[in-house]
Amino acid sequence: MPIQVVCPGCTSRFTVSDQFAGRTGPCPKCKKPITIPAAAPAAVTIHEPEAPATSSQGSGRVPTAPIASTERPVSRLQFALVGVGAVACLIFASLARAAWQPGQAPAWALATAAVGLAFPCAAIGYRITRDRELEPYRGRALALRVTICALVYAALWGVRGLVPVEMTTEMWQWLYVAPIFFSVGALASFAAFDLDWGAAAVHFSLYVLVTATLRWVAGFPPV
Whether residues 11 and 116 share a domain: the answer is no
- Provide mean pLDDT across the span 174-194: 86
State the Cα–Cα distance between residues 148 and 199, nearest whole angstrom: 17
CB distance 62 to 53 below 8 Å:
yes
- Provide mean pLDDT across the span 132-161: 87
In a domain, 99, yes or no: yes
Q: 31's torsion region: left (phi>0), alpha (psi -120 to 50) or beta? A: left
Whether residues 29 and 106 share a domain: the answer is no
Which stretch of DSSP H or E encloses residue 34? strand 33-35
Whether residues 113 and 188 share a domain: the answer is yes
CA distances, 88 to each of 85, 91, 95, 113, 207 (Å): 5, 5, 10, 12, 16
Q: Which domain holds residue 23?
A: 3-35
In a domain, 120, yes or no: yes
In a domain, 223, yes or no: no
Whether residues 203 and 125 share a domain: the answer is yes
CA distances, 98 to each of 93, 101, 193, 211 (Å): 9, 7, 38, 18
User: So what's the pLDDT on residue 43?
Assistant: 52
**Whole-model pTM?**
0.61
Whether residues 199 and 149 share a domain: the answer is yes
User: So what's the pLDDT on residue 28?
Assistant: 80
State the Cα–Cα distance between residues 81 and 33, nearest whole angstrom: 94
**Count of residues for the chain?**
223
In a domain, 46, yes or no: no
Q: What is the residue type of 183? A: S
Q: What is the residue type of 27? A: C
Whether residues 17 and 85 share a domain: the answer is no
For residue 148, name the pLDDT band (cuts at 50, 70, 90): very high
For residue 22, name the pLDDT band (cuts at 50, 70, 90): confident
Whether residues 109 and 175 share a domain: the answer is yes
Whether residues 143 and 212 share a domain: the answer is yes
Render pLDDT for 200-213 as a digit per residue (tens, 0 to 9).
Answer: 999 989 988 988 88
Q: How many CB atoms lie within 10 A of CB 46?
A: 6
Whether residues 21 and 128 share a domain: the answer is no
User: So what's the pLDDT on residue 96?
Assistant: 78
User: So what's the pLDDT on residue 95?
Assistant: 83
In a domain, 50, yes or no: no
State the Cα–Cα distance between residues 84 and 145, nearest whole angstrom: 24
Whether residues 119 and 171 share a domain: the answer is yes
User: So what's the pLDDT on residue 52?
Assistant: 60
State the Cα–Cα distance between residues 120 and 146, nearest whole angstrom: 9
Render pLDDT for 42-76 as a digit per residue (tens, 0 to 9).
Answer: 555 666 666 665 554 545 555 555 555 555 665 67
State the Cα–Cα distance between residues 211 and 214, nearest whole angstrom: 5
In a domain, 22, yes or no: yes
Whether residues 106 and 9 share a domain: the answer is no
Q: Provide the mean pLDDT of the chain.
A: 78
Whether residues 9 and 85 share a domain: the answer is no
User: So what's the pLDDT on residue 82?
Assistant: 73
* Number of independent structural domains in the chain: 2
In a domain, 43, yes or no: no
In a domain, 55, yes or no: no
